[in-house]
Structure 1
């Protein structure tokens, strides 16, 4: 990316990322419809219907997650019910069945910005669990600040070095691409409030993200 502060150029990268993530389930919907059009065997038609149902559910789960993680979360006020975030995260990883989500948040509501950061960190950590594993998510409101912790542990953890650099603030502008746009956004959102992002060192058996976000003034 030539200018990471160009909102239009950055938006195009983020849109590319979202379209890439939606391509698979939407493509499966199209394939299922094509099979249905030519299939006459009742058993095979039922399999096609099952495929369509699974693909539709996956698409809906992704869209619900993206709405909270990347959108303005319209329909909510200044705060978002944490139950909505939990449902979005669990739905995002439900299709594979390989990632078990541990929810460690007692708060009923969180401000929109911490929810956005929490969702994006959970997505990055969950994607790093290439063979599945445990994804634990915690958040707590303290006087003047919201603290977030996301921990991923599994048989194989792979975090793209560019994603790590984007979160750490060391990614050069020319390294910003669609795959790193969400991590760069998280870093920018947190630091713009005077907050901090923390990451566990590379090579550790467990991936740990932390974020400290001051309350809006």
Structure 2
């Protein structure tokens, strides 16, 4: 698979996540064009408002996780990363504890952190809690994304892609974020460890060379 093919997979993933809220906005506008009942119009306007915010939240997150946010800046504000992640999971019954001790980090580090958050959050199909940690050691940057919930589903193909990053011919939009995280770990001269207790908790740890910060 070429870089172009992988970029296409990321675009497909983005489109997949946006089609539902954008479609709801479109349907709502079509209903408003004909609906006269005030109560129904209020309900439709509420749907449009929620779908619009959901679309904006997803776009802001994917801009940081997949795109070239920040232009030519070498560093990104970690407060922006936290805001984007909180917005992404809002309304999903997922609680997040953000424990990041650095004010900024390189684009690659931020992308890695956000893609790990995305992969892990999608395993909490009935909600739960995610703890996000990033701190500096003497010679390394340590990232951990921990999750616990009533029911966790972590498909084997996503786990394999996250830890190995070598299933290029088997990649699909759903596994693209995990593969991107794996690529970033290698780019940053680090390694990734995964602890998974079936249906109970997940812990993803990445240790990177400090010069990547």
How high is the TM-score relative to the length of structure 1? 0.92
- Aligned to 1:178, the other structure's residue is in SS state coil
Alignment partners' CA distance in 2, 1:111 and 1:192: 12
Matching residue of 1:137: 132
* 1:52-201 mapped onto 2 (5 Å cutoff): 52-75=48-71, 77-96=73-92, 98-169=93-164, 171-201=166-196
Indicate conservation of the 8 Å contact 1:162/1:171, yes or no: no
Indicate conservation of the 8 Å contact 1:122/1:150, yes or no: yes
Alignment partners' CA distance in 2, 1:206 and 1:174: 29
Unaligned 5+ runs, structure 2 = none
Shift of 1:35: 1.2
Deviating more after overlay: 189-198 vs 148-157:
189-198
Shift of 1:114: 1.2
Deviations 1:194-216, CA, capped at 9 Å, x for gaps = 21111004526210111112224
Shift of 1:141: 2.3
Consecutive aligned runs of 4 or more in structure 1 exceeding 2 Å deviation: 141-145, 170-174, 201-205
Cα 1:131–1:207, aligned 2, differ >3 Å: closer, same or farther? same
**Over the residues paired in the alignment, what is the CA RMSD in angstroms?**
1.7
Shift of 1:164: 0.2
Deviations 1:129-151, CA, capped at 9 Å, x for gaps = 00000011010123443211000
Alignment partners' CA distance in 1, 2:176 and 2:88: 19
1:15 aligns with 2:6: no
Alignment partners' CA distance in 2, 1:173 and 1:75: 29
Cα 1:171–1:165, aligned 2, differ >3 Å: closer, same or farther? farther
Alignment partners' CA distance in 2, 1:25 and 1:103: 27
Shift of 1:192: 2.4
Indicate conservation of the 8 Å contact 2:158/2:178, yes or no: yes
Alignment partners' CA distance in 2, 1:163 and 1:134: 20
- Aligned to 2:76, the other structure's residue is in SS state strand
Cα 1:170–1:75, aligned 2, differ >3 Å: closer, same or farther? closer
Indicate conservation of the 8 Å contact 2:76/2:110, yes or no: yes
Cα 1:156–1:171, aligned 2, differ >3 Å: closer, same or farther? farther
Shift of 1:85: 0.7
Alignment partners' CA distance in 2, 1:93 and 1:50: 19
Cα 1:106–1:192, aligned 2, differ >3 Å: closer, same or farther? closer
